[in-house]
Structures are given as C-alpha cells and as structure tokens.
C-alpha cells in the first residue's frame, strides 16, 4: 500500500524539459496512463503523460500491444516493473533517450480519449459531509440514514454515456413534478448540477463468486481519475424512490483522460480514521494497512466558467475546494472489498465513482445543491452573474493534485465539460 522507491525521489529530473517545470502536473514522479490517437481514423494507443508530452509505450518498446484493458490486468509486480522502466528511460542521462525521444508526441497534437474501454460503472456515496448536507435539506431531524456508517452505499450507473474531458452534453429532459401541479411534466431540467468526484479504475478482475479480501483489494485497482457525475436534481427528486437515481444521472458523466496510478500516489497516503464514537467497520471492511495508509491526500477544486466569461477570455471562478481524505467516509480498499463480498465479478476497465466529495464547510461543497442551499442562496460570480444551478453554455472544470513538503507535486489533468442546450434547440 505504501511502498516508496527511486521513482518517487523528488530530486529526479527528466530530459523532457517540460517535466521539470514546477508548475507541471506531470513530472517524472507521476507518469499517469491514458489513451491517445493521432486522428479519428487511427487506433487508440497507450500513452504516459510526461510534462506536456505523451510517451507512446508501444513505440518506446515497453509493451507489445495497444490494449489498455489488457495492460490493466497485469499483476502488481508487473505494473511496478513497467513504472520503473518508464522512469529509468525518461530520467536525465538515460541511455534510452534516443528510443524514447522518437516515441514522444505533444499532448496538444493528439486526441485524448477515455482512459480505457469501460464495461460497468458503479457510483458510491462515500462523501459523508455531502450525505449529511443533502440529508439536512430533506430530513433535518435525521440527515444520515441508519445504514450509512455501516455499508458503503452505491448504485449501478450507465457506462454508455461516459465521456472524456473536453466534451459537451445536451441538457437532459425528464419527468418533473412541480409542487403546484397534480401531474408530472416532461421538461428540460431546470436544476442541472455538478458532482465533484474521483473515479477508480479496476485493473485485475476477480472470478464470479470469489470475494476480494480487503488486504488484497488495492491490487485490483489500476488508477485514479477525476470524475463529474452531472445530475438533474428536479428529475432526481421525483424518480429516486424506491430504487434510486435513473434518468437524473445517466445522461452524461465526464472523466479526465489520465489514470494516476496507486504507485504514484504512495507518498500521499494518510491514516484512515473515523470520528470517535462512530461504529467500527465489520471485519471484512477492516485491516491494519487500511487503518495505517488507507486515506489518499488528494486536493480538489471546481471552477465555473459561464458563456459570458468564456467570451471575455475569463478562465472562470473557483467555487469550491476540498480534500478526498477529509471528505471520504469509506476507503478505496473498502469499496472493492464490499463490491465483491457477495461474489460480484469485477472486470478490467470497470469504473467506481466516489460520490460527491464535499468538505465539512459549505464553501467546500462539491455540488451546487449544497453551495446554494438547494437553490435558495445563489452564488454571485466575479463578473456579477448569479447561479443557483447550471445554465446553457456553462463550463465546469475539475482539478486535483497531491502536494506535500519535500515531494514533487503531481496532478490529474483537468476534467472539463460544457452544458449545451436541449437537443434540437439553439443556444440563447
């Protein structure tokens, strides 16, 4: 869980000059995986981000195929060895520089895709501050349901509408039940929201009927990404009982193109601790390693750029900041152990969403539902515009990074999505 080695050395530098820029998200200590292609008619290739470049692993002679889902199934020892080989070849003074240099391409010159072929998608609800704040809006006397502190809550999402960062999506339609009406109506959502999340990609599968013990759970995880699970709150409030979200969630979810490996995140572990007085997890959800190293210290932020801001060249306002370790009531290892304890089979490329990751204060909220108290207190942006929920033309950008004294800061890239008008309707 917490193995540190030469690849984490903050003194390491690369012959790829942009990787040594203190502002880069992709120094040699990071090396996240993703897929890219040169044009829409070419095949997807496996790449690793280094500075502002992508290293083509096949052309560098590091792998013999371009099947990301196959690569993700590698044993942990094979993944460690590949990371070491990439790091050694990109290191300043490496004798492999000529071969690796020929396999480099600028990120700006290629199309970045979804990091892998995604089969199944499960969205969890690990953010206890989000669960409490949303529960407070609807159940002031009992914001957290009785099972929350015992079982990692989740639901099955829709993989077919996952899209890579930079994509837009149309405002969805759905049934909405207004307080003043006796019948629901089919309407465009008027309460379109964001959800600041992390995504976890499964690498190694498990056989159906064979649970993954918590002690081995992270061996089955390939990497971590940024994830925005857009939500239609007015549709959700009408449809979610008794079986949970449906059309309010499955119209679009945005994923960043890079998977930051657990190897890269090893220096940014924290003890996984629960508040005093909370119940101890059941034995299958507990282990000494999980308690010692189970939390990931990942800082996150949300930017909102309106159409007017974009036209004026304004990058957008930061509307929220939070930290995964402070927000998550359940660890990554616990999610894998729970998902499989009933015999559920996971496959390479399966995606777990964390659920909305809000901090303990309202300013750290990962959704507009919380930031605006259900739409009652709109945000006033730096250009004077106000938002309770998202308008057509709004762009949301999620960012995340890990930073600690004495270590190189590493980032996740960005997770960017833009709201388009209802399909068939012109923009205002």
Residues with a catalytic annotation lie at: 130
Rounded (10°) CA dihedral 394, 322, 34, 267: 160
Residue 283 buriedness (CB in 10 A; 0-12 / 13-18 / 19+): exposed
What is the H or E stretch that residue 369 is in? helix 368-371
Report how far apart, in Å, the C-alpha atoms of 86 and of each of 54, 129, 266, 316 are.
12, 39, 17, 36
- What Rg, from alpha-carbon coordinates, does the chain have? 21
CB 247 within 8 A of CB 172: yes
- Show the tokens assigned to 176: 């909405």
Query: For residue 269, what are the β-bridge partners?
Result: 296
CA angle, corner 92, sides to 91 and 93, nearest 5?
Answer: 110
Q: Is the dihedral of CA 325, 326, 332, 334 positive or negative?
A: positive
Q: Measured between alpha carbons, how far is 370 from 358 in angstroms, rounded to an integer?
A: 9
Contacts of residue 39, defined as CB under 8 A and 6 or more positions apart, other chains included, come to 111
Angstrom distance (rounded) from CA 220 to CA 321: 29
Which residue shows structure tokens 């490996």?
261
* CA–CA dist 95, 71 (Å, integer): 25
d(CA 3, CA 274): 24
Q: How many residues belong to the chain?
A: 428
Asked if 126 and 339 count as a contact pair (C-beta separation under 8 A), the reply is: no
Are the beta carbons of 52 and 108 closer than 8 angstroms? yes
């Amino acid at each position: 869980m917490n193995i540190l080695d030469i690849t984490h050395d903050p003194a390491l530098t690369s012959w790829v000059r942009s990787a040594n820029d203190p502002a880069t998200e992709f120094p040699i200590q990071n090396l996240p995986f993703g897929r890219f292609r040169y044009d829409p008619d070419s095949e997807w290739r496996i790449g690793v981000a280094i500075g502002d470049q992508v290293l083509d692993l096949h052309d560098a002679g590091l792998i013999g195929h371009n099947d990301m889902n196959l690569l993700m199934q590698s044993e942990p020892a094979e993944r460690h060895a590949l990371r070491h080989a990439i790091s050694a070849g990109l290191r300043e003074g490496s004798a492999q520089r000529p071969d690796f240099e020929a396999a480099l391409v600028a990120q700006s010159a290629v199309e970045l895709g979804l990091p892998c072929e995604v089969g199944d998608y499960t969205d969890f609800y690990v953010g206890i501050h989000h669960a409490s704040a949303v529960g407070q809006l609807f159940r002031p006397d009992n914001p957290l349901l009785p099972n929350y502190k015992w079982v990692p809550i989740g639901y099955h999402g829709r993989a077919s509408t996952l899209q890579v960062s930079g994509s837009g999506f149309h405002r969805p339609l759905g049934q909405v039940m207004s307080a003043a009406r006796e019948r629901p109506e089919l309407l465009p959502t008027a309460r379109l929201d964001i959800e600041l999340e992390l995504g976890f990609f499964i690498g190694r599968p498990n056989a159906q009927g064979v649970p993954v013990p918590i002690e081995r759970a992270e061996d089955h995880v390939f990497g971590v990404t940024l994830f925005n699970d857009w939500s239609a709150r007015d549709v959700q409030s009408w449809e979610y009982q008794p079986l949970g979200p449906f059309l309010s969630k499955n119209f679009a979810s945005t994923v960043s193109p890079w998977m930051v490996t657990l190897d890269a995140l090893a220096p940014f572990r924290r003890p996984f601790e629960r508040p005093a007085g909370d119940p101890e997890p059941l034995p299958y959800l507990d282990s000494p390693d999980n308690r010692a190293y189970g939390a990931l210290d990942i800082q996150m932020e949300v930017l909102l750029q309106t159409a007017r801001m974009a036209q004026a060249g304004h990058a957008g306002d930061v509307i929220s900041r939070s930290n995964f370790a402070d927000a998550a009531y359940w660890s990554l290892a616990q999610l894998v152990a729970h998902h499989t304890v009933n015999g559920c089979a996971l496959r390479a490329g399966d995606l777990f969403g964390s659920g909305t990751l809000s901090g303990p204060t309202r300013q750290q909220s990962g959704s507009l539902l919380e930031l605006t108290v259900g739409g009652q207190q709109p945000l006033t942006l730096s250009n004077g515009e106000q938002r309770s929920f998202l308008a057509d033309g709004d762009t949301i950008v999620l960012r995340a990074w890990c930073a600690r004294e004495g270590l190189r800061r590493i980032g996740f890239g960005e997770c960017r999505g833009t709201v388009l008008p209802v399909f068939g309707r012109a923009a205002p």
